[in-house]
């Protein structure tokens, strides 16, 4: 197990390094500098600004200086908002996005697993078809369509829930969380149904039934552990998707989170902010992929062997 963990961490490090390097050079190769604005800047001021942001150095020196700053956890100053550092902006947005993501993931897990397990108990009956058709709708309905539709129905026509903001009015977190979570609920429902169906057909389940265990105990104590491994393994990618999805949801509901800052930075061409956010989000995603891999391996020793035997 320790060896597995170690190998996995050693694999993650080059990924993060590639992300940092690729992002740095991509952003630096972008046409137009951050100070090419409407108003003309006095050459001296411009030189001072460029020195402050180290744009006067050769590219490779900028790169190593940036790596040095990163090693100390410093993402640099923002181009767009002088006087504010990227770190400050990120840590202002992170708690909001994390909270939104957490609620969405909870909704996705509870609804998805319940629907998937429920469907798997009576395959190819109405009990299977109805939740799985809903799941298909959930997968096909993109968040940027579902969000506005929910706002239209529950916020405007029925006037039950607030439609924008975050933590200002009670209930304003409900619609964003549902919007973000529904697609993942649908995926998780499909994954847990498939996983459960596979496990429920195994010999040890037949043994458990044969020794007279009641069906609910067969399901909860024997089948769930194996049947939900695909769901656990999906959590890492799901987290990555949730972060990307939060771009849209935060834009629709005007939530001051990371995703909204990222999109704003993209439009403002705030290069240090884009760079910092990309590096930060990527590291987070790589980290969560790592965690979900390790948890899945811990639940299923076979995965570890598969891992050692190369990629299957």
Interface with other proteins by CB under 8 A: which residues?
Answer: 11-12, 14-15, 18-19, 22-23, 26-27, 29-31, 136-137, 139-142, 144-145, 147-149, 151-152, 156, 187, 190-191, 194, 230, 234, 240-241, 243-244, 247-248, 251-252, 262-263, 266-267, 269, 274, 277-278, 281-282, 285-286, 289, 310-312
- Taking the complex as a whole, the smallest distance from the CB of residue 230 to other proteins amounts, in Å, to 8
If one counts every other C-beta atom within 10 angstroms of the C-beta of residue 295, the result is: 15
Question: How far apart are the C-alpha atoms of 97 and 304, rounded to whole Å?
Answer: 33
Q: Which two tokens stand for residue 229?
A: 């491994």
When the beta carbons of 51 and 137 are compared against other proteins, the nearer one is: 137
- Taking the complex as a whole, the smallest distance from the CB of residue 281 to other proteins amounts, in Å, to 6
Residue 77 in 3-state DSSP? strand
When the beta carbons of 209 and 300 are compared against other proteins, the nearer one is: 300
- Taking the complex as a whole, the smallest distance from the CB of residue 176 to other proteins amounts, in Å, to 14
- Taking the complex as a whole, the smallest distance from the CB of residue 10 to other proteins amounts, in Å, to 12
When the beta carbons of 53 and 246 are compared against other proteins, the nearer one is: 246
When the beta carbons of 24 and 208 are compared against other proteins, the nearer one is: 24
Helix 258-268 × helix 271-299 angle, to 10°: 140
When the beta carbons of 15 and 49 are compared against other proteins, the nearer one is: 15
Q: Which two tokens stand for residue 64?
A: 């190593």
Distances (CA, A) of 200 to 112, 197, 275, 306: 18, 5, 47, 22
3-state secondary structure 120-151: HHCCCCHHHHHHHHHHHHHHHCCHHHHHHHHH
When the beta carbons of 218 and 253 are compared against other proteins, the nearer one is: 253
Residue 80 in 3-state DSSP? coil
Please give the helix or strand (H or E) that residue 98 lies within, else none.
helix 86-121
- Taking the complex as a whole, the smallest distance from the CB of residue 307 to other proteins amounts, in Å, to 11
- Taking the complex as a whole, the smallest distance from the CB of residue 285 to other proteins amounts, in Å, to 4
């Amino acid at each position: 197990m320790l060896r597995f963990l170690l190998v996995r961490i050693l694999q993650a490090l080059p990924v993060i390094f590639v992300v940092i390097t690729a992002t740095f050079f991509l952003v630096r190769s972008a046409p137009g500098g951050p100070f090419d604005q409407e108003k003309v800047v006095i050459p001296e001021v411009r030189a001072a600004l460029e020195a402050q942001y180290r744009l006067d150095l050769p590219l490779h020196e900028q790169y190593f200086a940036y790596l040095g700053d990163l090693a100390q956890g410093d993402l640099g100053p923002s181009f767009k908002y002088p006087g504010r550092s990227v770190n400050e902006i990120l840590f202002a947005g992170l708690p909001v996005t994390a909270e939104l993501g957490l609620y969405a993931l909870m909704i996705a897990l509870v609804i998805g697993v319940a629907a998937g397990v429920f469907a798997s108990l009576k395959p190819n009956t109405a009990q299977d078809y109805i939740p799985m058709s809903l799941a298909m709708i959930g997968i096909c309905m993109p968040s940027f369509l579902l969000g506005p539709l929910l706002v239209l129905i529950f916020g405007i026509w029925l006037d039950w829930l607030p439609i924008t903001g975050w933590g200002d009015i009670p209930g304003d977190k409900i619609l964003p969380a549902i919007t973000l979570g529904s697609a993942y609920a649908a995926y998780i429902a499909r994954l847990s149904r498939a996983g459960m169906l596979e496990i429920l057909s195994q010999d040890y389940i037949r043994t458990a039934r044969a020794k007279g265990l009641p069906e609910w105990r067969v399901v909860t104590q024997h089948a769930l552990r194996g049947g939900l491994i695909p769901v656990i393994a999906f959590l890492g990618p799901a987290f990555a998707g949730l972060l990307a999805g939060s771009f849209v949801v935060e834009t629709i509901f005007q939530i001051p989170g990371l995703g909204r800052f990222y999109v704003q930075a993209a439009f403002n061409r705030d290069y240090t902010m884009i760079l910092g956010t990309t590096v930060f989000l990527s590291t987070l995603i790589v980290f969560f992929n790592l965690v979900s891999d390790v948890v899945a391996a811990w639940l299923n020793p076979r995965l570890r062997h598969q891992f050692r035997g190369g990629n299957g």
